[in-house]
Structure 1
Amino acid sequence: MSFCVAVLLSGSGSNLQSLIDATQAGKLDVDIRLVLSNKPDAYGLERARKAGIPTAVVSHTDFSSREEYDTEMVRIIREHQAEAVIMAGFMRIITPVLLNAFPNKVLNIHPALLPSFPGVHGQGDAADHGVRFSGCTVHFVDAKMDNGPIIIQAVVPAFNKDDGESLGARILRLEHRIYPQAVQWLAQGRLEIQGRKVVVLDAGNQPSVCDDGQGAYMVNPPLEDF
């Protein structure tokens, strides 16, 4: 039986598309039961509809508190029988209401190497800071923004000419590689949280070092089928 997930998003949904593509290719053993957005015009909703995935829009402006909003999301997610929540560009801070409903089953991806450069402008902040390497991070979500235990990270070079847009584009293609991998590990029950650290059971000991023709990158823990 497939592992059932709900995806939360606020925008274009390119990471949702990477999950859909991996599922359709038989690489990702999940059933995306629901795509939920706080914005009715989010293009990710159209991606979901094209794939035959149920959608829901819950506007945060209709609720007087974050807790009330998350209570409604939990109700809808449970209605669709999802076991885990995958945040894919969901521009809302999650409260303990949702976290307690899906303990250690809420994932997020961030376009920087956490704990450096948290927040909504991670790529631009990294470029402005003059880093030599940047990347993306998949992590468990906790009560603090971009803070939870790290599952997997990918690293790309950063150059003096980079701004947030150019560096972000280089990072984005790696997001599409590591997020399906992290979700697959979650679906397989291979993630164990030990304090601040995440152990990926039966993972390799050497990072993936790759060049896909668009540039070199490194991923740790190593990629398997993605």
Structure 2
Amino acid sequence: MRVAIFASGNGSNFEIFADLFEKKELQGELALLFCDHPDALVVERAKKHRVAVETFTVKAVGGKRIYEEKIAEILKQYKIDFIILAGYLRVIGAPILDNYEGRIVNLHPAYLPEYPGLHSIERAFDDQKKQTGVTVHYIDSGLDSGPIIAQKRVPIFEDDTIESLEARIHACEHKLYPEVVKSILNELIEKGE
């Protein structure tokens, strides 16, 4: 099972997955990082872990459709079987979805269907909710609308700041996401898919 991670920024979730693959706590091989921001910190993290990196922007290749087609071609070249989105801040388009239906998972920092899209933590905080959460789901053509695999609630305390809430959400993500991915990869490998 050859796995690609898509990320756009710092790469804290990438780091966790890279460590788990290296320790053989996740079955398969972390074969590729794709990043849509060539200067993102996650690119350096991937190099440190000796993971192949492909990175380019929509603008650099001439538009969204060409961008998606180029990624789809790269995924074929690397013989990728499964995709983990780890802070990848773009909607996945048809050229990729068509080849990876049911094989792309995403982590969202809210209890979907609450707060889809960007700035989920801030929106829940600003709305003075009592709780938010974390969701792992499959990707479809919508915005954070794919089938939900697992969710966990995270309380919002009266004395919380955005920073303290983000820290608790990230702690929850860093536990839940690897557990879910491990289960999915194990099942796919056992089925020989």
Q: Same fold (TM over 0.5)?
A: yes
- Alignment of 1:25 with 2:36, yes or no, is no
Match among 72, 75, 80 for residue 78 of structure 2: 80
CA distance in 2, matches of 1:46, 1:86: 18
Match among 83, 93, 96 for residue 95 of structure 1: 93
* Residue pairs, 1:62-141, within 5 angstroms: 62-141=60-139
CA distance in 2, matches of 1:162, 1:77: 41
Contact 1:58 1:73 in 2 (8 A): no
Could you say which residue in structure 1 is the equivalent of 2:6? 8
Between Structure 1 and Structure 2, the one with more helix by share is 2
CA distance in 2, matches of 1:62, 1:49: 22
- Alignment of 1:56 with 2:29, yes or no, is no
- For 1:188, the aligned partner's letter is N
- For 2:104, the aligned partner's letter is V
Contact 1:124 1:165 in 2 (8 A): no
- For 1:172, the aligned partner's letter is H
- Alignment of 1:37 with 2:27, yes or no, is no
Contact 1:124 1:163 in 2 (8 A): no
Deviation at 1:177, TM superposition (A): 1.0
Report the aligned-residue RMSD. 1.4
**Structure 2 unpaired stretches of 5+:** 189-193
SS for the counterpart of 2:187 is coil
Between Structure 1 and Structure 2, the one with more strand by share is 1
Percent identity, aligned pairs only, is 33
Deviation at 1:67, TM superposition (A): 2.1
Deviation at 1:172, TM superposition (A): 0.3
- Listed one character per residue, the Cα deviations across residues 78-129 of structure 1 (whole Å, up to 9, x for unaligned) are 2111101111111111112211111110111011111101111010111111
- Listed one character per residue, the Cα deviations across residues 142-177 of structure 1 (whole Å, up to 9, x for unaligned) are 111111111111222211233433211110011111
CA distance in 2, matches of 1:171, 1:105: 24
CA distance in 1, matches of 2:168, 2:45: 22
SS for the counterpart of 1:48 is helix
CA distance in 1, matches of 2:31, 2:60: 24
**Structure 1 unpaired stretches of 5+:** 191-226
- For 1:138, the aligned partner's letter is V
SS for the counterpart of 1:189 is helix
SS for the counterpart of 1:101 is coil
SS for the counterpart of 1:61 is helix
Stretch moving more, 113-122 or 65-74: 65-74
Contact 1:8 1:35 in 2 (8 A): yes
Stretch moving more, 119-128 or 156-165: 156-165
Q: Which runs of 4+ in 1 moved over 3 A?
A: none
Q: What is the TM-score of this pair, normalised by structure 1?
A: 0.79
